[in-house]
Structure 1
Amino acid sequence: MAESAVGFLLQRLAPVFDNKVKLFAEDQAEVIHLKGWLERIKAFLRIADALEDSDEELKVWAKQLRDVAHEAEDLLDELQLFQVHNHAIGFSIYLRVRNMKARYRIVHELKNINSRMKTISSTHERFRHKLDTASEASSSNYTGNAWHDPRGDALLLDNTDLVGIDRPKKQLIGWLIKGCPGRKVISVAGMGGMGKTTLVKQAYDDPEVRKHFKACVWVTVSQSFKVEELLRDLAQKLFSEIRRPIPERMESMCSDKLKMIIKDLLQRKRYLVVFDDVWHMYEWEAVKYALPNNSCGSRIIITTRKSDLAFTSSIESNGKVYNLQPLKEDEAWDLFCRNTFPGNSCPPYLIDICKYILRKCGGLPLAIVAISGVLATKDKRRIDEWDMICRSLGAEIQGNGKLDYFKTVFNLSFNDLPYHLKYCFLYLSIFPEDYLIQRKRLIRLWIAEGFIEAKEGKTMEDVANDYLKELLNRNLIQVADTTSDGRVKTLRIHDLLREIIILKSKDQNFATIVKEQSVAWPERIRRLSVHGRLPYRQQHRLASQLRSLFMFGVVENLSLGKLFSGGFKLLSVLDYQDVPLKKFPVADVDLYHLRYLSLRNTKVKMVPSYIIGKLHNLETLDLKKTPVRELPVDILKLQKLRHLLVYRLKVKGYPEFYSKHGFKAPTEIGNLQSLQTLCFVEANLDYGMIIRQLGKLSQLRRLGILKLREEDGKAFCLSIGRLTNLHALSVASEGENKFIDLRFLSSPPPFLQRLYLSGNLHELPSWIQSLHSLARLFLKWSCLKHDPLVYLQDLPNLAHLELLQVYDGDTLHFRCGKFKKLKVLGLDKFDGLKQVTVGKDAMPCLERLSIGRCELLKNVPSGIEHLTKLKVLEFCDMPDELMKTICPHGPGKDHCKVSHIPDVYSTYWRDGGWDVYALDNFSRDCCPRSGTVMRSHEPRIQWKL
């Protein structure tokens, strides 16, 4: 992590040398000096990070360097703060003198840092030989000591040792011996410890496979990959396999010569080559041309932790990718008991404890085996010992040598990360156990922390999304939920990985996690995440270097001033989401550096003007789900503001679903030129002035407008036509019968992906048909005279369509071969609808269909049996006559049409919530309103930007 700290500091120094941050000459000289030291030492830090866990002296050296980098970062931010104060209007002479003294102190401390850097650098010379040797060693990333590689054990396992292997093994063998005669690449991908090597070795050793191929070779790839060594290893194993003598002077052959030899050996043979644990694409690129693309049915298997590598290497040959999944619950329990209680079953009094510990393993075979090895040594009669492991699994991981196995496998993946991704990954340690992390929230936090490097042609959000994709690609984090159009919505991290990164985060002083029973806090806290009640004995700590503060599950109404003393002058992130806060929390605190402020789902009602105007660096202001209804004009001073969210949902009754309260924005909202997200502005309060201002916000990507007046339609269209970067647009009229005039929008935003229109349209805008990127379309109260499906059916990327009180006709016809990408369809409040027809090959991807409040619809859609991928069919407040036609008991004449659908529900709105009935629970007298299985107060489908 010293590499990350130094790399991050060098990144923070860039504005100084680009003249974006003005310093005095003496300050500048010290900063230049510091930059020189950092650049000279940075080249060795990746190797040092990989070795520090096994070398105590090196670990101390890396910590010293990391501390210096953190202190230098703090001093630079302090300098910037003093410069701002010096240029403030009306600044007194006394305060100027005081700030000058403080600046001289900082310059003195910068000199001290440079002196310490000189000492650290001279000490570094003692490590140079060690680091150089490690960088050349083939096992440099295995910590430098003799480390037991678990892949070797995976090659020796018997079938009796394995669980859950039969189904994936059968799939893999089928791909190997069947199919076209051309050469195919099969990739097996998954996180470290998932069992990729084990699975492939079982298929590789299967007698049917060995008999099918004339030459079978297994090559284990190391992280310190060298082309000649890999090719030489492959060639030697091939000569041994076909029982031919190895050519003389092979040890000195170049890579081209080795490729020619390998290609000649395999040209006329049906071969199988396995490359186990490939880390980088260039490893595959270096060897693929040595493997002939013959017509003998040859196969290549690659195992890798990186999903993009698996996909790219296989797609070239129309091959296959097997994404290895965690063990199922019963399989995981079987493996756990085999290793924890050999020859016995789990004692009944330990079952709950064992189930909890097993859940932490997340179906990861290596984690299950590692934890089982620890538990197998525990006294089965001492329940307290087992319970202690439940409550302190992190400490067990840190102190138990039996778990080094699992930690080292994880460290291989962590050390392979570039320095900027290490910080992003460690940041996940701030979230509580089992917490679903919102993608947008995480990206905005990364940006606020300064982890994201600017790249030409991309916004910071685009780059942050690339970082997130890379972590997902490396299988270090997992997607928990996606939107209907395929975007990542929430993320999760494997429980044991979370325990390990918490330990690493603590060791590196990256973040401090505080729980009710936490141990004492460190002296210097950079990021503080409070889980649950804050221990009172720890309050009033000095927090002048604190960068981020999070509250999770805190039920106390805390103020910053009471929480700590000494101020928060360097605070960048303040996240109070879901805390029962009643007042704006930063009344008496100078937060010039604050970039992220979230009061989401708090009880804050007002934003004080004298505070908000001081947050000059604020990038995200999240007031979603708060009672705030108006923002002061001082918000216009925040020229760096990128995301402004101020709204809450109305859920008083069925008609209120999909409705929101927005906020009154300052008239000159167009001055906030950096805005990318603006949700939701009430537009009927200023005679259309805000609507005309919107056209100035050229960076907008998400825009939500409420209560748009009919007479502002032309101005609205002119403004929207200028927002060429817009990806999501939500517009609501002043009421159900009010008109939204979109006739003047001749050129809609070209990249629009999500469109939500609530209001009377009379006719569907013709430009909707040109939105080739449109993935989600929600229409409400449209009152169209013509069938809208005709205009929407050819949209190439439409995945989610919701129509609420949209059309007065009696028939909806989904024509053959249309709506090719549609996955979710909702039809609600079609008062005249009597028939829905689904043509053959229409909506071939549809997974969810909801039909609600169509009182004249007495039968299920004709042709619904053609929807072979349909997983959920939901009827909301539909007539009993229709429900009886699909009842599995009695006269259900249409039951056979829906029998292929896994989940069929009937839901009814009662007393402020949904009563939900499953088809299988309908009573034998065919009443669809008995046998309640769920009660929900949430909207059936929420309209989200």
Structure 2
Amino acid sequence: MELAVGASEATMRSLLGKLGNLLAQEYSLVSGVRGDIQYINDELASMQAFLRDLSVVTEGHNHDNRRKDWMKQIRDVAYDVEDCIDDFAHRLPQDSISDAKCSFILTKMYELLTWWPRRDIASRIAELKVRAQQIADRRNRYGVNNPEHCDSSNSPRPRAHAAAQDIAEYQDTKPQIVSIKEPVGMKTVMENLEKWLTEPQPDKGRAVLSIVGFGGVGKTTIAMALYRKVSGKFDCQASVAVSQNYDEDEVLRSILNQVSKQEEAGGSTESSSRDENTREPQGSSSTSSREENTAESGTKRMLNKLKKALPLSLLGGNDDKTSVRQQETMGSLQLREELKRRLAEKRYILLIDDIWSAKTWNSIIIPFLPSENDKDSRIIVTTRFHAVGSTCSPRHKNDEATSSPGHGKDLLHKVDFLTGDKPLDLFNASIPDPMKRTDRDKKLSKICGGLPLAIVTMAGLVACNPNKANSDWSKLCESLFPYPVTTLNLDGVTRILDCCYNDLPADLKTCLLYLSIFPKGWKISRKRLARRWIAEGFATEKQGLTEEEVAEAYFNQLARRNLIRPVEHGSNGKVKAFQVHDMVLEYIMSKSIEENFITVVGGHWQMTAPSNKVRRLSLQSSGSKHGNSTKGLNLAQVRSLTVFGNLNHVPFHSFNYGIIQVLDLEGWKGLKERHVTEICQMLVLKYLSIRRTEIAKIPSKIEKLEYLETLDIRETYVEELPKSVGQLKRISSILGGNKNTRKGLRLPQEKRNKAMKNPSPQGKTKEPAEKGFLSQEKAKGTMKSLRVLSGIEIVDESAAVAASLHQLTGLRKLAIYKLKISEENDTFKELLSSIEYLGSCGLQTLAINDENSKFINSLYNMSAPPRYLVSLELSGKLKWLPKWITSITTLNKLTISITVLTTETLEILRNLPSLFSLTFAFSLSAAKQDQDTVKGILEDNKLATDGEIVIPAKEFKSLKLLRFFAPFVPKLSFPDKSAMPALEIIEMRFQEFEGLFGIEILENLREVHLKVSDGAEAITKFLVSDLKDNTEKPKVFVDGIVTA
């Protein structure tokens, strides 16, 4: 089923397995239905074999309309069969009665009680059998022929064994970090534009830089590079994308949220540790009002509308800073007023990406900008249209593509297609691994017509086909563009994207098209996407690899092909978040609509809704009054629902709960407790995310979701899981708590009785042991599939929970956000024992935030070190490193308390062969209470080495990222150029700073990022400014204070 996008081979294999299980349930079937199911099973298996042969022989070639239509019919009937089976499981009890006592009587009772639903299902199966027969007949009637071997000259490579090769090849990638990169071949232009943005204007007023150019020419790349480089020189900054179909309130709220967070952080944006989606265009805040959980009366709704329409000055909300909770309920008039007030006395820089009309600029952006601001503020705008750019920058003196400042109050910069050697330079720079340079590169870069998007995409195609002969590449160039190409138009871009798309293995095509669920400009989390791929059945176990490893290999290949653009790497060197270029997203969106794979309602795209059944629905906020309407859509077959933005209504009543497998409601403020109760009726649900919603309780009925694999309740008000969660047999990821606030999620356990009625022989009252969530009778032996348990809380009363962790032998990640236990308590011993045991079973990530610090210090003498660890994070007042840490050769990421920062510590750690990132940190909440204590410890630590921390020479061969996050960072010195030879980036966040010396001699160090907290003393500001002004290499970026 590979070529029927959305019904991959894995999906078909799952369907055939379900049919087999149904045939085995003799007591559940109505007489005569067994033969129909067997026929459907055999017919679909034959169709799958036919399509598999078709994909091997003709991959990379277009199919005629008859074949495409026939494939769609197979896909639709396969979906409908699976929906019928899932509905069968939903409506009929599945507990076996064949082995029960008096099974004959029970069987007759079962048949009587379930007669009507079984007859209904039998009727539907008979209809599906007829459809399967008709599809088979139609193939012969209309001449859908068997596949013949085709000439593969137009396809970059034969695909017979591509899938196997791809997984093996892309399973592992080298860890990397994202640095600020300048667009290729634009050094002088970037320098001039940066100078214009940072130099003061004569009247110190607001000035606008408009970047104009064709789609894919690199406008956003230039704008983002400039924004990142200069934002540290401004008091506050914000970026937002607008596009064609925008939501005015969301645009304004996104800017206000970014500005507000910087004010709360003391003038700089604290880097967030959240590992899931954030959105650059129309971002929504992570908190909002809990009061919305109650049903609103008509009067209350009317009052809310009235409040949104009134200025803040009339509501008395103008005196103090508004909270994020208040901002969520503001209307556009109030948002503009609040933004204008906050920006009035600040030097700000704004990035407004992808404006499509002058009306947008005049009606949305201009009204919230302070009319009088003499702080030399700047705005960067990108647009495809010259007229729009002229409207945004009305005071530029000419319309030519100028990169030199001084031509007017505003600046309009036109981005042209690349010429000369620049296309080839970009092509070579876009191939990840060094490959032999040949004439192939020049030919391929030439047909791209100087368009950067086409160049990097074609380079990705080459990178994934290293063994293809030059003659084959020449044929490919001739087939794509028989005539010489000067500049590339939209049709030319589509041809190149078609070529790259057709080269993908079928499973990867499905994974790529799945990205059309996300809105334009969305910053997509790699982990979130991988979990959803697994839930949809797109990434399954194969060739000895787990589902997670297969998903990672698929993602790595899409990144290598440059079809997605990594924008954020985690401290472990893996991609944390990525984006899809607008033109690529538009392309895969059109493919998804053609295949009826994804249906998008609202959002940036103005697409016509399909007239057929909706399988995967993406609801997105929109500026159009009718843009969010699902009216006229058949939603009874929806199996995947995703919500983005602040939608007022989601049509839950229109869905068939028995077939929904993926439910992603992250950030939806309209979610109520009653919705969660209804969700517990979705019996085949595999993926559930209610992250950043207002939900405070998970109902006990969640035990009904026996197929649930991922439960994401991070950053909600849920404080404890119900006991029934221990009965989820297939659960693989439980994600809770809030990493930023260190709020933890309590795991359930039975409360201890005060006393038993029968006293012990000694006359003392005996207390029964508590039962953990895996000690319940129904939960025994369950949760063997659990791989990730993140964000939990362990306190003195959690002894039973700590003991239950022994049973999670498949656990790969354990993150304890809040640990507060005393050394004398049983919980202390049970948790230490569990961690030792899990470490021997394959635990790869361990993170502990210890408020008392006694537990993390007890790890020093752990008898059995966790030898499989890849990531270790120990937060608290650590006194010494665990003595076993040098034996963990697989350790890639280490985060430890800054209280152990000594030259001796660095001497111990320098021989870790795989260490990629090293972070010394101390949480801000703890720092406020123990700042003097921490500073005293660090002062003592540096006494042994003449008042400084010395970075030892040699070793640290793999370390590329070094970070210090603490209120006080002592003097650090690199006396030898061989110290940390692979180091590329240093990051620091502090309030007090004693200096960083010797960095100019480090050969591979590219960037130093300094973020200064509000309240820093003059000496710290002087040292920071001096370091920036007197260091040419590496580049020093400062955020949080305005430097000269």
Q: What TM-score do the two structures reach when normalised by structure 1?
A: 0.65
1:56 to 65, 69, 78: 65
State the 1:122 CA deviation.
2.2
Contact 2:795 2:821 in 1 (8 A): yes
Contact 2:784 2:808 in 1 (8 A): yes
**Counterpart check, 1:707 vs 2:819:** yes
1:135 to 145, 150, 154: 150
2:876 to 749, 756, 759: 759
**Uncovered stretches (5+) of structure 2, i.e. residues with no partner:** 27-33, 101-105, 158-415, 452-457, 477-483, 750-771, 776-781, 922-933, 943-947
Alpha-carbon distance between aligned partners in 2 of 1:173 and 1:526, rounded to the nearest angstrom: 41
State the 1:631 CA deviation.
0.6
SS at match of 1:587: helix
Alpha-carbon distance between aligned partners in 1 of 2:895 and 2:531, rounded to the nearest angstrom: 27
Alpha-carbon distance between aligned partners in 1 of 2:697 and 2:598, rounded to the nearest angstrom: 31
**Counterpart check, 1:860 vs 2:984:** no
Alpha-carbon distance between aligned partners in 2 of 1:523 and 1:474, rounded to the nearest angstrom: 33
Q: How does 1:234-245 map to 2 (within 5 A)?
A: none
Q: How does 1:404-483 map to 2 (within 5 A)?
A: 405-455=492-542, 457-483=544-570
Q: Deviations over 1:460-494 (max 9, x none)?
A: 11111112122223332232221233101112222
| Matching residue of 2:290 | none
SS at match of 1:845: coil
Alpha-carbon distance between aligned partners in 1 of 2:542 and 2:473, rounded to the nearest angstrom: 32
Q: Deviations over 1:467-526 (max 9, x none)?
A: 212222333223222123310111222221211211111111111111176645534110
Q: How does 1:727-876 map to 2 (within 5 A)?
A: 727-735=844-852, 740-780=857-897, 782=899, 787-804=904-921, 805=934, 807=938, 808-810=940-942, 811-829=948-966, 833=970, 836-851=973-988, 853=990, 858-862=994-998, 865-866=1001-1002, 869-874=1005-1010, 876=1012
Q: How does 1:921-940 map to 2 (within 5 A)?
A: 921-922=1043-1044
State the 1:766 CA deviation.
0.9
2:722 to 620, 627, 632: 632
**Counterpart check, 1:668 vs 2:805:** no
| Matching residue of 1:204 | none
| Matching residue of 2:489 | 370
State the 1:167 CA deviation.
4.5
Alpha-carbon distance between aligned partners in 2 of 1:173 and 1:783, rounded to the nearest angstrom: 44
Q: Which amino acid aligns with 1:30?
A: Y
**Counterpart check, 1:118 vs 2:142:** no
Q: From the superposition, tell whether residues 406 and 123 of structure 1 become closer, same or farther in structure 2 (CA, over 3 Å).
A: farther
Contact 2:60 2:154 in 1 (8 A): no
**Counterpart check, 1:900 vs 2:1033:** yes
Contact 2:448 2:488 in 1 (8 A): no
Contact 2:598 2:618 in 1 (8 A): yes
Q: From the superposition, tell whether residues 109 and 677 of structure 1 become closer, same or farther in structure 2 (CA, over 3 Å).
A: same
Contact 1:648 1:661 in 2 (8 A): yes
| Matching residue of 1:695 | 806
State the 1:55 CA deviation.
3.4
Q: Deviations over 1:154-178 (max 9, x none)?
A: xxxxxxx97244246579999xxxx
Alpha-carbon distance between aligned partners in 2 of 1:814 and 1:795, rounded to the nearest angstrom: 15
SS at match of 1:528: strand
Alpha-carbon distance between aligned partners in 1 of 2:152 and 2:1002, rounded to the nearest angstrom: 60
Q: Which amino acid aligns with 2:831?
A: F
Contact 1:481 1:488 in 2 (8 A): yes
Q: How does 1:615-630 map to 2 (within 5 A)?
A: 615-630=705-720
Alpha-carbon distance between aligned partners in 1 of 2:793 and 2:611, rounded to the nearest angstrom: 47
* Larger RCO, structure (CA 8 Å, separation 6 or more): 2
| Matching residue of 1:681 | 792
2:832 to 693, 696, 717: 717
| Matching residue of 2:357 | none
Q: CA RMSD in A?
A: 4.2
> Mean alpha-carbon deviation: is it higher for 531-540 or for 627-636?
531-540
Q: From the superposition, tell whether residues 741 and 187 of structure 1 become closer, same or farther in structure 2 (CA, over 3 Å).
A: farther
SS at match of 1:61: helix
SS at match of 2:746: coil
Q: Which amino acid aligns with 1:426?
A: L
Q: Which amino acid aligns with 1:695?
A: H
| Matching residue of 2:436 | 185
**Counterpart check, 1:544 vs 2:636:** yes
Alpha-carbon distance between aligned partners in 2 of 1:769 and 1:367, rounded to the nearest angstrom: 58
**Uncovered stretches (5+) of structure 1, i.e. residues with no partner:** 143-160, 175-182, 201-222, 224-273, 288-299, 306-364, 372-402, 652-658, 908-915, 923-945
Alpha-carbon distance between aligned partners in 2 of 1:12 and 1:544, rounded to the nearest angstrom: 21
| Matching residue of 2:14 | 12
Alpha-carbon distance between aligned partners in 1 of 2:475 and 2:579, rounded to the nearest angstrom: 21
**Counterpart check, 1:881 vs 2:1019:** yes
Contact 2:599 2:609 in 1 (8 A): no
Alpha-carbon distance between aligned partners in 1 of 2:649 and 2:908, rounded to the nearest angstrom: 53
State the 1:70 CA deviation.
2.5
Alpha-carbon distance between aligned partners in 1 of 2:57 and 2:437, rounded to the nearest angstrom: 35
| Matching residue of 2:661 | 572
**Counterpart check, 1:591 vs 2:703:** no
State the 1:120 CA deviation.
3.0
**Counterpart check, 1:646 vs 2:758:** no
Q: From the superposition, tell whether residues 190 and 71 of structure 1 become closer, same or farther in structure 2 (CA, over 3 Å).
A: farther
Q: Which amino acid aligns with 1:583?
A: K
Q: From the superposition, tell whether residues 189 and 85 of structure 1 become closer, same or farther in structure 2 (CA, over 3 Å).
A: farther
Q: From the superposition, tell whether residues 22 and 406 of structure 1 become closer, same or farther in structure 2 (CA, over 3 Å).
A: farther
SS at match of 1:594: coil
Alpha-carbon distance between aligned partners in 1 of 2:493 and 2:426, rounded to the nearest angstrom: 28
State the 1:138 CA deviation.
5.2
| Matching residue of 1:500 | 587
Contact 2:524 2:579 in 1 (8 A): yes
SS at match of 1:588: helix
> Mean alpha-carbon deviation: is it higher for 84-93 or for 592-601?
84-93
State the 1:406 CA deviation.
3.1
State the 1:102 CA deviation.
2.8
State the 1:794 CA deviation.
1.6
| Matching residue of 1:241 | none
Contact 2:427 2:441 in 1 (8 A): no
Contact 2:494 2:587 in 1 (8 A): yes
**Counterpart check, 1:46 vs 2:133:** no
Q: From the superposition, tell whether residues 795 and 483 of structure 1 become closer, same or farther in structure 2 (CA, over 3 Å).
A: same
| Matching residue of 2:571 | 484
Q: How does 1:350-361 map to 2 (within 5 A)?
A: none
| Matching residue of 1:603 | 694
Q: Which amino acid aligns with 2:794?
A: A
Contact 1:30 1:107 in 2 (8 A): no
Alpha-carbon distance between aligned partners in 1 of 2:110 and 2:486, rounded to the nearest angstrom: 62
Alpha-carbon distance between aligned partners in 1 of 2:53 and 2:714, rounded to the nearest angstrom: 45
SS at match of 2:72: helix
State the 1:622 CA deviation.
0.6
